[in-house]
Amino acid sequence: MKYELKVYKIENFTVINISGKIDSSNSEEAEAELNLMLENNDRYYILDLCGLEYISSAGLRVFLSASKKIKNNKGNFVFCSVSEEIKEVFDITGLLHVFTLCETLDGAVEKIKSMAL
């Protein structure tokens, strides 16, 4: 199964729902698609991973690239609804301490609001 990205708004924040699998076979395409979604005037994003089933190191590079792009735009982002399997990948690679993870979408909205102040 391939990945799927869906974008919608909650209040003033852009939510990008990511589902499926991101690995070396599709990471370049996923990165290009995600970068297009980041080319707007928004600065604060929620990356909702509730449907993400698998991510490889190539997939993690997609998130690191997005992180750089958002931070270069003086913005910020959080992840939410991250499965235990994906959290474990973040943990093993040391990214658990780099990224902000929220349990729920509501929690992510509250966290991103506090960052936007």
Reduced to 3 states, what is the DSSP secondary structure of residue 25?
Answer: coil
Q: Residue 110 and residue 36: Cα distance in Å, rounded?
A: 25
Instruction: Compute the C-alpha angle 112/48/74, nearest 5°.
Output: 40
Length of the chain: 117
pLDDT band at 1 (very low <50, low <70, confident <90, very high): low
**Domains annotated on the chain, with CATH:** 4-116 (3.30.750.24)
Instruction: Summarize pLDDT for 56-110 with one digit per residue, the tens.
Output: 999 999 999 999 999 999 999 999 999 999 999 999 999 999 999 999 999 999 9
Alpha helix (H) ranges present in 20-83? 27-37, 57-72
Judged against a pLDDT cut of 70, whether residue 3 lies above it is answered with yes
- Beta-bridged to residue 21, according to DSSP, are 54
